[in-house]
Copies of this chain bind each other. A is one copy, B any other.
Amino acid sequence: MKSEHIPKATIGRLTVYVEVLERLKREGSEVVSSESLAEACSVNPSQIRKDLAYFGEFGVRGVGYYVAKLISAIKQSLGVDRKWNCALVGVGNLGRALLRHRDFQTKGFDIKVAFDCDPYKIGETIEGLEVICTRKTKEKIQELNLEIGIITTPPERAQRAANYLVEAGIKGLICFAPGRIEVPEHIPLEYVDFFDHLFAVAFNITLGQLGK
């Protein structure tokens, strides 16, 4: 098949596949069928085959998928087979936790700068990274060739952070602050919101209790 429009949900599932495949690899599996991978990911086997088909043919008929090969293929398809230089804005609790979170490095997202506008925080060092004044956004983004902005400010400062980053030429944003922000059409933007998921759990519990 290859290309055309790719459902957003597909992207989400591909990252799950990678996660699960990496576990399988650690556990010694060399080959996996769409059926067993589907089982491990709690999805339909056709779904997996279709998701992969958007990007190419990665399997061997009668055999399945070579785990290591498939991991590479998916990562390459998603564009995460390389390093991405990131900037974090907003060094609060969450920002700090993310800076300390090793997986960013591991997964290829290198946080190269941490910005904050609070004079008390500027100059502080976290995980070997000096907190820098937000005024220097443009300078630093361009100097270090940063591509992805991670917004961990309080909600009322999220829009301003986004503006600075976009103006400085950032290519994409991920926003942990609640509420929506505005960015130009061509800048990919994703929101991360735990409460989304907490609400969903609460809702489903409530639903289950009513149903019974």
Q: Which residues of A contact B (CB under 8 A)?
A: 8, 11-12, 14-16, 19-20, 23, 40-42, 78-80, 84, 93-94, 96-98, 100-101, 103, 107, 109, 147-148, 155, 171-174, 178-180, 186, 188-208
How far does the alpha carbon of A203 sit from the alpha carbon of B12 in the complex, in Å?
Answer: 11
Q: Which chain B positions have C-beta within 8 A of A16? A: 180
Report the minimum CB–CB distance from A42 to chain B (whole Å): 6
Asked if residues B93 and A101 are in contact (CB atoms below 8 Å), the reply is yes
How far does the alpha carbon of A186 sit from the alpha carbon of B172 in the complex, in Å?
Answer: 38
Asked if residues B172 and A202 are in contact (CB atoms below 8 Å), the reply is yes
Report the minimum CB–CB distance from A104 to chain B (whole Å): 8
Q: Which chain B positions have C-beta within 8 A of A188? A: 200-201, 204-205, 208
Report the minimum CB–CB distance from A98 to chain B (whole Å): 8
> Which of B20, B79, B196 has a CB less than 8 Å from the CB of A180?
B20
How far does the alpha carbon of A118 sit from the alpha carbon of B41 in the complex, in Å?
Answer: 29
Q: Which chain B positions have C-beta within 8 A of A178? A: 19, 103
Asked if residues B190 and A201 are in contact (CB atoms below 8 Å), the reply is yes
Asked if residues B205 and A80 are in contact (CB atoms below 8 Å), the reply is no
Asked if residues B78 and A199 are in contact (CB atoms below 8 Å), the reply is yes
How far does the alpha carbon of A179 sit from the alpha carbon of B204 in the complex, in Å?
Answer: 22
Asked if residues B201 and A80 are in contact (CB atoms below 8 Å), the reply is no
Report the minimum CB–CB distance from A93 to chain B (whole Å): 5
Query: Nearest 3 pairs between A and B by C-beta?
Result: A79-B206, A97-B97, A188-B204
Q: Which chain B positions have C-beta within 8 A of A20? A: 179-180
How far does the alpha carbon of A84 sit from the alpha carbon of B199 in the complex, in Å?
Answer: 10
With A16-B180, A40-B180, A103-B195 known, 15 other A-B pairs at CB within 8 A are: A20-B180, A23-B179, A78-B202, A78-B203, A93-B101, A94-B101, A103-B178, A107-B198, A109-B198, A171-B205, A172-B202, A172-B204, A174-B198, A188-B201, A191-B197
How far does the alpha carbon of A28 sit from the alpha carbon of B148 in the complex, in Å?
Answer: 34
Report the minimum CB–CB distance from A158 to chain B (whole Å): 11
The answer to whether residues A172 and B195 also contact, given A79-B206, A96-B97 and a CB cut-off of 8 A, is: no
